[in-house]
A and B are shown apart, each in its own frame.
Chain A
Amino acid sequence: MTLSSPYVLKETSVTWVMTQVCLALLPGIAVYTWVIGPAILIQLALASLAALAGEAAMLKIRGKPLNLFLTDGSALLTGWLIALTFPPLSPWWLIVVGTLFAIVVAKQLYGGLGQNPFNPAMIAFAASIVSFPALMSQWPSQDMHLGLVEHLRIVFGLSPHLDSLTAATPLDALKTGLKLGEEAGASVAGLLANAQTFGHVGGRGWEWITLAYLIGGLWLCLRRIITWHVPASFLAAVVVLSGALWLYDPREFANPLFHLFSGGVMLGAFFIATDPVTCASTPRGKLIFGAGCGLLAYVIRVFGGYPDGVAFAVLFLNICAPLISLLTQPPVFGAKGRN
């Protein structure tokens, strides 16, 4: 029996919260499958299995109740986020290694659920892109329409991974294009006109996936699973910075819409930076946290060496989160008017 009041509790649980977040990812996953192909489903399955296996092994070693923690949904969510950020045609072991690293090192070694200072999915991404830069930048070309069987063969190394299958991501294409075309006077507008890579507002195809993430994310906000602070300030920061530079020189810098709907901004703003464990905890802190993520993601994406900067931006702000929370404590009831 409950030791002391309250004796009534709201119907909620960690499992319920994590399930809601997973549900909110479904539109994005559906569009991903439709646009890029069924490979993402293979990666999702691999990541889920690896996440649960890694979690189970670590829980056993740490002497924690398996049932309680395996069903909390947190490992599954981490696995899904990893799958959605890795190239879908990468070999099976890449996502398994990445996921195990996230669960075993970034989560369980720090003490498991609720104790990790860094977002495990972003640790997996950062560790992998540093360790296997070539594999992590092989994104499938959307002109190759392959079925599930071919995708399975590629992922499990039964078919050769042909260079013709892959293409640069829109962000990469733009960055490289600008660099190469510096002397030739290539402009953003000219590069974006390339319909093979770019679509209406963002990367071709990717813009629909990110739009689906946006819809899922807004649903999470409406259901109050996440608060609006982090996504709003994250997206606002991207818009403000990219907008300012775009107005300054539209030939050199892509417009804000392109940046919103390309790369990991939407997924990052609604699903990754909002991870409560690693995010700042106060409303004002969340605004700062989100804005920091947005600014840094843009800076790394446009001026840095990596095609996208969301992972590093989130990890960097994870370090700052405790300090941000400490410095943004809201006044308690009755302390506002205090002299």
Chain B
Amino acid sequence: MFQLFKFNGGVKPPGNKAQSVGQPSATAPLPARLVVPLHQNIGGTPRPVVKAGDRVLKGQLIGEADGWISAAVHAPTSGMVRDIGAYVQPHPSGLSAVSVVIEPDGREEWIERQPVDYRNLPTDAVQTAIRQAGIVGLGGAAFPTHGKTTPAKGVPMEELIINGGECEPYITCDDILMREQGEGIVRGTAIIRDLMQPKKVLIGIEDNKPEAIAAMRAAVAACGENFDVVAVPALYPAGSAKQLTRMLTGKEVPVGKRSTDIGTQCFNVGTVYAVWRALALGEPLIDRMITVTGNVEHPRNWRAPIGMPIADLLALGGPKADTDGVILGGPMMGFVAPDLTVSTVKATNCLIARSRTLFPPAPPEMPCIRCGECARACPQDLQPFEMYWFSRARNFGKTQEYHIFDCIECGCCSFVCPSRIPLVQYFRFAKSEIWAREGDKKAANSAKERFEYKKAREEREKAEKAEKLAKAAAAQAAKKAAEAAATGDSLPVTTPTADDAEAAKKAAIAAAMERAKAQRAAVQPRNTDALNADQQHAIDAVEARRLQAGLETPAADNENPSS
């Protein structure tokens, strides 16, 4: 019997998973156009390597990773690039980002697929291959996968954990993938195992997915591996990497550290499957399993190309008449799509058609009665109601003392709150305020640094110049005296007095400064002359902020930097 550990807290929301696993997954038909955002991962933004009017093949690179923590982006099908421009993103902010619009030609013409001989390649070559295949964490975080495959220095890798928890209600994409592609998952796991050399490999699956557990056990046996397929109790958020690691190993990732620091690492089942496809078949990450469920006639899992507009994907499920929006992700941590034109990305795992019946509006918020239900439900052992009081009071320092940045926004606290306080919303607000303030502070600090550096440099230059001039003046005076002596003047030689030297120096400096000023004025028209209204407005705003930050007084403006 495998020994399981517990984490504190957790909740049991209704699963609503059965609806979408009633039938096998299907491949979504190609939409009229695909909008593939370039920045789909945590880390750098891939650079576009195609331009409008180019023909691309299925699997062709369209965005190149711009750093180590970045992931390439590929064309999900063959067709024409119609546009590269800003499109609304599937993100709660509703902001736009650079995307590649591809009009499929329906021919599904592949690039030349080249499997990677991962068994005989050095680790970094395999990691580079994974990076070039554009693989990111498909559980939702979208962290570039190759970046997680290096064990911490000096810490032996104990357990490699494959996360088939899928604790969020409604979502079944991992469930169906495990049922249908168990071998691919196991082979992908073996690739990561070879990279990281852990002592054990554990595949954790919530016990509400008996079919997936059976399928994975069969797949492990079929591949001749010795991975442990472990059923963990269905308790949201058991599928969160930290909580799953705790359940399977009893170890907690220390605050501010990485899981490799305690000799563990965790990958989603969809991610390792994508790794296997990339290396064994040479197919980069261009599609993924997405659950379409909720207020639809035919809930189901679809293998959909990345960049598919969610309106098209939703239409496959047949949304009912009273559908009034789409939740991307699960109901506990997902968000409402800002717009139905946004397209799926690598991190999109589920579309839930929303209706007032399925997701009734929250009852009115009552005052907190400190009942502590939230603290008992919190899987991170936080005191949400304390953070709530301080978030509400905008006392952000205190929220940090209560560890607001350890909050994983799982939603357990809001779920159980009898006062119906949207606690997580308050925490998101507090976190973004803290980030904004930190950003402001950094900007102010660097402005101050720049100003001080400039001041110091100007002073140094002035001193150097003065010294040079003084030396020159002294040399001239000495020369004069020598000349006088040479002409046979019998008068006692008067060496140039300090007064003379000083006066000469001052005069020289003044003259030099005058010249420099005139030169500057003549050569360089000030860029603050002839401003348009907008620019003047922007400058005024900057000045006001500077004043507010107490950086300088308006009088200390560029006119007299040395004063």
A195: Cβ under 8 A from any B Cβ:
no
**Is B369 in contact with A10, judged by CB distance below 8 angstroms?**
no
Return 14 A-B CB contacts under 8 Å, by A number.
A5-B327, A6-B13, A6-B333, A7-B327, A9-B420, A12-B417, A114-B369, A115-B367, A276-B371, A281-B370, A281-B385, A329-B383, A332-B406, A335-B254
Stretch at the interface among A13-21, A55-63, A98-106: A13-21
B476: Cβ under 8 A from any A Cβ:
no
In the assembled complex, the Cα of A335 lies from the Cα of B368 at a distance in Å of 27
A336: Cβ under 8 A from any B Cβ:
yes
Given the known inter-chain contacts A332-B403, A335-B255, please indicate yes or no for A13 contacting B367, CB distance below 8 A. Answer: no
Given the known inter-chain contacts A2-B359, A5-B411, please indicate yes or no for A277 contacting B369, CB distance below 8 A. Answer: yes
Most buried by A among B8, B324, B372, B380: B372
Within the complex, what minimum Cβ distance (angstroms) separates B403 from chain A? 5
In the assembled complex, the Cα of A113 lies from the Cα of B92 at a distance in Å of 33
Q: 5 closest A-B pairs (Cβ-Cβ)? A: A6-B411, A114-B367, A276-B371, A333-B380, A7-B331
A residues within 8 A CB of B252? 333-334, 336-337
In the assembled complex, the Cα of A279 lies from the Cα of B385 at a distance in Å of 14
What 15 new A-B contacts, CB under 8 Å, besides A4-B92, A14-B369, A276-B370? A6-B332, A8-B169, A8-B415, A9-B414, A12-B416, A14-B418, A72-B366, A114-B370, A227-B376, A332-B255, A332-B380, A334-B252, A334-B257, A335-B255, A338-B255
Stretch at the interface among B152-160, B300-308, B422-430, B454-462: B422-430
B11: Cβ under 8 A from any A Cβ:
yes
User: Of residues 319 to 339 in A, which have CB atoms within 8 Å of B's CB atoms?
Assistant: 329-338
User: Of residues 367 to 406 in B, which have CB atoms within 8 Å of A's CB atoms?
Assistant: 367-373, 375-376, 379-383, 385-386, 402-403, 406
> Which of A6, A13, A276, A279 has a CB less than 8 Å from the CB of B331?
A6
Within the complex, what minimum Cβ distance (angstroms) separates B322 from chain A? 13
In the assembled complex, the Cα of A338 lies from the Cα of B244 at a distance in Å of 20
A residues within 8 A CB of B255? 332-335, 338
**Is A3 in contact with B382, judged by CB distance below 8 angstroms?**
no
In the assembled complex, the Cα of A161 lies from the Cα of B51 at a distance in Å of 98
In the assembled complex, the Cα of A283 lies from the Cα of B92 at a distance in Å of 36
B242: Cβ under 8 A from any A Cβ:
yes
**Is B368 in contact with A330, judged by CB distance below 8 angstroms?**
no
A residues within 8 A CB of B7? 333
B110: Cβ under 8 A from any A Cβ:
no
> Which of B257, B364, B370, B418 has a CB less than 8 Å from the CB of A12?
B418
Within the complex, what minimum Cβ distance (angstroms) separates B429 from chain A? 10
User: Of residues 226 to 276 in B, which have CB atoms within 8 Å of A's CB atoms?
Assistant: 242, 246, 252-255, 257
Within the complex, what minimum Cβ distance (angstroms) separates B245 from chain A? 10
B14: Cβ under 8 A from any A Cβ:
yes
**Is B366 in contact with A113, judged by CB distance below 8 angstroms?**
yes
B204: Cβ under 8 A from any A Cβ:
no
Given the known inter-chain contacts A2-B359, A281-B385, please indicate yes or no for A7 contacting B334, CB distance below 8 A. Answer: yes
User: Of residues 282 to 328 in A, which have CB atoms within 8 Å of B's CB atoms?
Assistant: 282
A67 to chain B: closest residue by CB: B364
**Is B370 in contact with A8, judged by CB distance below 8 angstroms?**
no
Within the complex, what minimum Cβ distance (angstroms) separates A123 from chain B? 17
A residues within 8 A CB of B253? 334
A1: Cβ under 8 A from any B Cβ:
yes
**Is A4 in contact with B335, judged by CB distance below 8 angstroms?**
yes
A38: Cβ under 8 A from any B Cβ:
no
B361: Cβ under 8 A from any A Cβ:
yes
B16 to chain A: closest residue by CB: A8
> Which of B327, B381, B409, B411 has a CB less than 8 Å from the CB of A331?
B381
A residues within 8 A CB of B332? 5-8
**Is B367 in contact with A7, judged by CB distance below 8 angstroms?**
no
A residues within 8 A CB of B359? 1-2, 7-8
B362: Cβ under 8 A from any A Cβ:
yes
A158: Cβ under 8 A from any B Cβ:
no
A37: Cβ under 8 A from any B Cβ:
no
B residues within 8 A CB of A335? 254-255, 381
**Is A3 in contact with B381, judged by CB distance below 8 angstroms?**
no
A149: Cβ under 8 A from any B Cβ:
no
A54: Cβ under 8 A from any B Cβ:
no
Within the complex, what minimum Cβ distance (angstroms) separates A106 from chain B? 15
Given the known inter-chain contacts A16-B418, A68-B366, A333-B380, please indicate yes or no for A2 contacting B13, CB distance below 8 A. Answer: no
B363: Cβ under 8 A from any A Cβ:
yes
A28: Cβ under 8 A from any B Cβ:
no
User: Of residues 215 to 270 in A, which have CB atoms within 8 Å of B's CB atoms?
Assistant: 227
**Is A2 in contact with B383, judged by CB distance below 8 angstroms?**
no
**Is A13 in contact with B424, judged by CB distance below 8 angstroms?**
no
B354: Cβ under 8 A from any A Cβ:
yes
A residues within 8 A CB of B354? 7
Within the complex, what minimum Cβ distance (angstroms) separates B339 from chain A? 15
**Is B331 in contact with A14, judged by CB distance below 8 angstroms?**
no
Within the complex, what minimum Cβ distance (angstroms) separates A116 from chain B? 10
In the assembled complex, the Cα of A113 lies from the Cα of B419 at a distance in Å of 11
B379 to chain A: closest residue by CB: A333
In the assembled complex, the Cα of A165 lies from the Cα of B14 at a distance in Å of 58
Interface flags, A24-68, vs B, CB<8A=1, else 0: 000000000000000000000000000000000000000001001
Most buried by B among A9, A17, A281, A333: A333
> Which of B13, B242, B368 has a CB less than 8 Å from the CB of A333?
B242
A203: Cβ under 8 A from any B Cβ:
no
In the assembled complex, the Cα of A68 lies from the Cα of B366 at a distance in Å of 8
**Is B371 in contact with A13, judged by CB distance below 8 angstroms?**
no
Within the complex, what minimum Cβ distance (angstroms) separates B91 from chain A? 12
A residues within 8 A CB of B331? 5-8
B residues within 8 A CB of A140? none
B residues within 8 A CB of A7? 327, 331-332, 334, 354, 359
Within the complex, what minimum Cβ distance (angstroms) separates B351 from chain A? 13
A170: Cβ under 8 A from any B Cβ:
no
A residues within 8 A CB of B428? 4
**Is B381 in contact with A9, judged by CB distance below 8 angstroms?**
no
A202: Cβ under 8 A from any B Cβ:
no
> Which of A14, A74, A332, A338 has a CB less than 8 Å from the CB of B381?
A332
Within the complex, what minimum Cβ distance (angstroms) separates A229 from chain B? 10
A112: Cβ under 8 A from any B Cβ:
yes
